Amino acid sequence: MRTKHTFRLSPDLALKLADYATRKRVPQAHIVEAALASFLSPDGSERLEGALGRRLDRLVRQVERLERNVTISNEALALFVRFWLTATPSLPDTAQPAAQAKGRERYEGYVEALGRRLAKGRALADEISQELASADEVADEGSDQS
């Protein structure tokens, strides 16, 4: 048995309700009934909280992954700069123009190589993860044979 209720909706909301009912091919009363049941349901807020919690967990994992990748990039750059500074002697003033020209040429080649690498989808963080995983497998196999 159903109880009849009369209520007024704004024209915009009534239009949305009618459109949704037409698309779903169900009476408007069923949609209103389901919406009220969901809104008044005591576990509705728990479901929403659970969905929000799962979404936040996923976002936290993504941010942690980004943080890890930035840390790897920063350490790789710092290591390169340290190595370059220790391995490269300073040039006399007469050799500076030629070195700058050669440096620009080499930099252009570097940018092109970087562009090709990024276009292929390869990432340093992925390579490091693969290297660590294969090193762990080798270490595990070595300890199994002992």
Q: Flag whether 17 is in a domain.
A: yes
User: What tens digit of pLDDT does each residue of 34-77 get?
Assistant: 888 877 877 767 877 888 999 999 999 999 999 988 988 888 88
Query: Domain range spanning residue 137?
Result: 92-146
pTM of full prediction above 0.85: no
Q: Flag whether 126 is in a domain.
A: yes
Instruction: Please state the domain count of the chain.
Output: 2
Residue 99: what residue type? Answer: A
Kindly give the interhelix angle for 44-87 and 28-40, rounded to the nearest 10 degrees.
70
Q: Which residues, including other chains, have CB under 8 Å from residue 38's CB and lie 6 or more apart?
A: 44
Q: Flag whether 62 is in a domain.
A: no
Average pLDDT, the chain: 86
Q: Flag whether 124 is in a domain.
A: yes
In angstroms, rounded to a whole number, what is the distance separating the alpha carbons of residues 6 and 50? 34
Query: b/e string for 5-24 if b means 16 or more Cβ within 10 A?
Result: eeeeeeeeeeeeeeeebeee
